[in-house]
Structure 1
Amino acid sequence: MFVPPKKSSHYIKWLVIGAMSTMGIALVIILSLLWVRLLSKKERAARRYTEMKKQVDSESRAKLITFHGDLPYASSEIIEKLESLDAEDVVGSGGFGTVYRMVMNDCGTFAVKRIDRTREGCDQVFERELEILGSIKHINLVNLRGYCRLPSSRLLIYDYLAMGSLDDLLHENTQQPLNWNDRLNIALGSARGLAYLHHECCPKVVHRDIKSSNILLDENLEPRISDFGLARLLVDEEAHVTTVVAGTFGYLAPEYLQSGRATEKSDVYSFGVLLLELITGKRPTDPSFAKRGLNVVGWMNTLLRENRLDDVVDKRCTNVDAGTLEGILDIAARCTDGNAEERPSMNEVLQLLEQEVMSPCPSEFYESQSDR
């Protein structure tokens, strides 16, 4: 009987090594293809929010940049509408400019902010920063839809919210006071928006001017944080020291007033003041306590020490729940702690509002909602 010769162990060894090498190379190729496909998918998703269209009108020497996909109008129509804005279209003013209401030919409406402070020679830097801000999208933030550079001015185009600001509803529109549930919803939505800026944006964003007039409301009273004119993008912890304090007196954290150094914790302080404003219905520098040398934080602490909880709540506010009120006051006290290191982060504030105040279970909205 014929017996084939045995293959040497050396041959078998190299055969195994060759097979394993082939399998390894194939695995690397497969993983590489999957990785490229994943990156492409992420890039496609990102482009939904960061897609920009840059157009230059040679006749008017205007440059138009749009974010979040193209505005559904010809650039010539947009520029024509922007150039025709005048005093009759003014709806307000903010830290860095005047705000106009712009109505398109199809009745589509946008808010336009004319930037007052322009510096020659820094357009490229300014536009790069705007591109980052234009990539931010969240249900509780006002979308920056576009930017136009005209020979005489710079204009930012935002979504228009017809209900106006929280400041208007709390202090000007006395005929329709906000009830307790409305105020809780506004507090929660505002916390979501600010937590998104602090914890989910890259680079992270410190707003620097959280206040009731920068909380805009849609027809369902869903809040959206506005005015990124004062916001500074943070690359690292040492990159946000300024010599000029931006913001609004009454909302500013004590350490920010002293050093001019804006941090997430100074935003948290401002949010705590906003909570107190929602509860009391009083501006942070209301004359009733400002004449005693107090702001809303000092006034609140005085009332709580004197156990005068009934005097805290806005008399126009209905359906106030005592347990929820105490929870909100506790969160506000933690946010406005004089020691910045003792204040919670906005993610922690959001978690407290959802889990300890709003309901036994976290809200379904807790996910970033960045795709809405």
Structure 2
Amino acid sequence: MPVLAMVVIVLAVMKVAVAQPISNTTTNTNKPIRSYCDSNEAMSLATFFSNLNSTFSQLRSQLSNTGVYYAQAQNLENGDAVYGVAQCRNYLSSTQCLACFDVAVSALEPACGSANGANVFLDNCFLRWVFLSLRFHLPLRFQNYDQIYEDPQGGSDVAVPAICGNESTSQPISAFNQTVEELLSNIKDATPRTSDFYIASTRQVGTVTNATVYAIAQCVENASNTICKNCLNTAYNSLSSCLPANEGRAINVACFMRYSEFPFFHNNQTINLIPYLAKGNSSKSVMIIGVSSSTGLVLLILALFLWFRRQLSKSKVVGKDSSELQGTQRYSYQHLKLATNNFSEEYLIGKGGFGEVFKAIVDGGIVVAIKKLHVGFRAKKEFENEVNLIRNVRHRNLILQLGWCIHGPELLLVLEYMPQGSLDKFLWGEKKGTLNWKQRSEIIFGIARGLVHLHGEFHIKIIHRDIKSSNILLDKDFQPKIADFGLARLLPEELTHASTRFAGTMGYTSPEYATCGRLSEKVDTYSFGIVALEVISGRSCNDVNYSGPRMEYLLNHAWQLYEKDMHIRLIDEAIDPNEYEEEDVKKIIEIALMCTQSPASLRPTMSEVYIMLSSEPELEQRQMSRPTYIGAYRRIHIGGS
């Protein structure tokens, strides 16, 4: 279900083509509920329709990829440009998204004809196009697509009447109204702080009823934090007028908000709001030391029982026979063997600690990466772990698992193919120095977004344990995707940390995990800080710097420069100084150093890291401690159990 948005065109300049009333008999239909057509006609119809169809085709192709909910495309043939944006709600599958997109296209084309701008809103998606003739003089702000979209004065916070259900709630009105207002207020505040501007949440109505309210908020993915915040504030005020209607939608070009007493997404698709609403350092967890009352003791016993039952349930899932694994396609061994010419060297594209990776073409033309794990019980155990962990993970910054295969001792994963390869090749490998600052900063943001999703937006907390530059893969547009989940671990929500044997890569792992086996989400935070410093400097964390008065690893070198307020010197000399603002670079270096502090309690959570990265360059002043670095060649005692 696509959502198309362009923040520059104010709704007032468009004429209404469709405004469907809401039916409360269906909760998730692909029926246009509001659409607009520009009042002007395209000048060259032949060029317009050709470019429009091409743009639609590009949008649909992007949305056909699993985990992709936002697409933008353009066609500039013959000096005329058609720009398109489409977005789906994140609770949809790829098939459902495409179905909504097709409905949106079929709704706009006959309704708006050759209008040089149009958009349509559905419950599950949003689509828009704009046609601009570049052969004629146009105002400056209409000559560049990115400027058009990012213009904050484009009507993103213009009040548009909400679309309300035609029946009142069946629940007690006062309790229902209070529940809806509190839930909408929370997702209004939380959504701009998430990595993909999307929140889905539920809340029980009152205390004496089993009724539940469902709500989502979503901003257009390419919008700024400010645009998202302003738009949702307006949407929230508009949607409040619907109460006590049993459902309502607030629609704008930059955001969408909806509530309903009818379910329109699954319960396991909700997102924990707490990390995005907590004041101060939300990473600090409260641990109960003792219980002084019998009531508290009962609650503690109950909590331990529930935790044990959940762990038992999870262990049954992870430990079950791999032949029963579900959720992704099971490929035949002969099919994969044929696609890789018996796993020959000519198809080999990489090697890792758990196996080899081959490039292949399957299913009649889909380019994939096939990961062949080493033979043995340990490999099978890690294989089951990886399949079970990531089979349902869908995020633009996490590698997508397409399928798997078990053939005797042979264990294979079928993953989406990343044409640019791993990040380390661009930092100190054969493609060293080819990434510009914009690409590097987007890579840092993307890694942070992926970790935010793993730690707090998925229905279980996943700790990767092996974040490093060689495990960050780049797509054709140099967008990063976190790969290699063979070491990933589940951390129950009730625990702040767990003890385990060390498994990871020295130089990237945190001191408390490497030396004591103390595992928490802050292990990934530490690794992120190291990778961010590598991206900025173009240096490996385990390479020693010989240019200074003494030999220093990257983290130590970065800290020395920071203490002297000279940390801008850390930036890779291959980057053109005209490409970046010094304050922006210094801010990211400081955030990276925050991530590497010890003890772990001093490090921010990844949701806090992403908020800091997205904020203004000037950071809140906080005292930082010198980080502890355990390099690849230091001898340490590994503890844990």
* TM-score greater than 0.5 by the shorter chain: yes
Q: Which of 342, 345, 348 is equivalent to 2:608?
A: 348
| 1:99 aligned partner | 357
Q: Which amino acid aligns with 1:86?
A: S
Deviation, 1:104, is 2.7
Deviations 1:52-71 (A, max 9, x none): xxxxxxxxxx9596745x58
Q: Is the 8 A contact 1:64 1:146 kept in 2?
A: no
Aligned to 1:277: 534
Distance 2:424 2:485 in 1: 17
* Counterpart check, 1:229 vs 2:486: yes
Q: For 1:276 and 1:164, locate their aligned partners in 2 and report how far apart those are by CA, in whole Å.
A: 20
The residue that corresponds to 2:587 in the other structure is: 327
Q: What's 1:177 paired with?
A: 434
Give how far 1:234 is off: 1.6
- Whether 1:338 and 2:598 are equivalent positions in the alignment is yes
2:268/2:459 contact within 8 Å kept = no
CA positional deviation for 1:183? 0.8
SS in 2 for 1:284: coil
Aligned residue identity for 2:448: A
Instruction: Tell me by how many angstroms 1:233 deviates.
Output: 1.5
Listed as ranges, the matches of 1:1-372 within 5 Å are 38=262, 41-42=265-266, 67=327, 70=329, 77-78=335-336, 80-81=338-339, 84-104=342-362, 106-116=364-374, 118-119=376-377, 127=384, 130-174=387-431, 177-236=434-493, 237=495, 240-243=498-501, 245-288=502-545, 292=550, 294-318=552-576, 319-357=579-617
Contact kept? 1:64, 1:75, Cα under 8 Å: no
Question: What residue ranges of structure 1 are gaps of 5+ in the alignment?
Answer: 1-22, 25-29, 47-61, 359-372
How has the CA–CA distance of structure 1 residues 87 and 347 changed in structure 2, closer, same or farther, with 3 Å as cutoff?
Answer: same
Contact 2:440 2:535 in 1 (8 A): yes
Unaligned runs of 5+ in 2: 1-169, 172-208, 215-260, 271-321, 619-641
SS at match of 1:208: coil
- Whether contact under 8 Å (1:96, 1:117) holds in the other structure is no
| CA positional deviation for 1:280 | 0.7
Instruction: State the Cα distance separating 1:203 from its structure 2 match.
Output: 2.0
Q: 1:104 to 1:147 in 2, by over 3 A?
A: closer
Question: Cα–Cα, structure 1 residues 351 and 105, in superposed 2: closer, same or farther, change >3 Å?
Answer: closer
Cα offset for 1:76?
Answer: 6.2
Q: Structure 1 pair 135/290, CA: closer, same or farther in 2 (3 Å)?
A: farther
Instruction: Provide Cα deviations, 1:61-91, integer angstroms capped at 9, x if missing partner.
Output: x9596745x58x8886346436822333221
AA aligned to 1:321 is E
Decide whether aligned partners of structure 1 residues 317 and 101 sit closer, same or farther in structure 2, where only a CA change above 3 A counts.
same
CA contact (8 A) 2:567 2:589 kept: no
Instruction: Note the alpha carbon deviations across 1:135-189, whole angstroms, 9 max, x for none.
Output: 1100110011111101121111110110111111111244762111111100001
- How far did 1:42 drift? 2.1
8 Å contact from structure 2 (residues 333, 405) kept in 1: no
SS at match of 2:445: helix
CA distance in 1, matches of 2:369, 2:524: 25
Taking the aligned partners of 1:307 and 1:33, their CA distance within structure 2 comes to 53
Q: Which moved more, 1:312-321 or 1:125-134?
A: 125-134
Q: Which amino acid aligns with 2:406?
A: R
Rg comparison, structure with higher value? 1
**Cα deviation code 1:258-315 (max 9, x no counterpart):** 1122211011000001111111110001132599563211111112234443531100
1: CA distance between counterparts of 2:580 and 2:265? 47
Rounded to whole Å, the distance in 2 between the matches of 1:327 and 1:310 is: 10
Instruction: Give, in angstroms, the shift of residue 44 of structure 1.
Output: 11
1:316 to partner: Cα distance: 0.3
Q: TM-score of the superposition, structure 2-length normalised?
A: 0.44
Q: Sequence identity of aligned pairs in percent?
A: 32
Q: Which has the higher helix share?
A: 1
Tell me if structure 2 keeps the 8 A contact 1:97–1:113.
yes
Question: SS at 1:328's partner residue?
Answer: helix
Checking the alignment, whether the CA contact within 8 Å between 1:64 and 1:147 is kept in structure 2 is no
Secondary structure of the residue that 1:172 maps to in structure 2? coil
Q: 1:235 to 1:76 in 2, by over 3 A?
A: same
Contact between 2:340 and 2:359, CA under 8 Å: does it hold in 1?
no
Structure 2 counterpart of 1:108, one-letter code: I
Contact 1:141-1:224 within 8 A present in 2 as well: yes
Is the 1:327–1:356 Cα contact (8 Å) retained in structure 2? no
C-alpha change, 1:154 and 1:326, in structure 2 (3 Å) is same
> What CA distance in whole angstroms lies between the structure 2 residues aligned with 1:31 and 1:87?
60
Does the C-alpha gap of structure 1 residues 129 and 241 become closer, same or farther in structure 2, counting only changes over 3 Å?
same
Residues 340/120 of structure 1: CA separation in 2 closer, same or farther (3 Å cut): closer
Residues 12-47 of structure 1, C-alpha deviations (whole Å, 9 max, x = no match):
xxxxxxxxxxx99xxxxx987999x9557527989x
Give the structure with the higher percent strand: 2
CA distance in 2, matches of 1:222, 1:342: 29
Distance change >3 Å, CA 176–CA 312, structure 1 → 2: closer
Q: 2:234: which partner in 1?
A: none
Cα distance in 1, alignment partners of residues 478 and 470 from structure 2: 14
Larger RCO, structures 1/2 (Cα 8 Å, 6+ apart): 1
Aligned residues: 315
Counterpart amino acid of residue 330 in structure 1:
E
What amino acid maps onto 1:100 in structure 2?
F
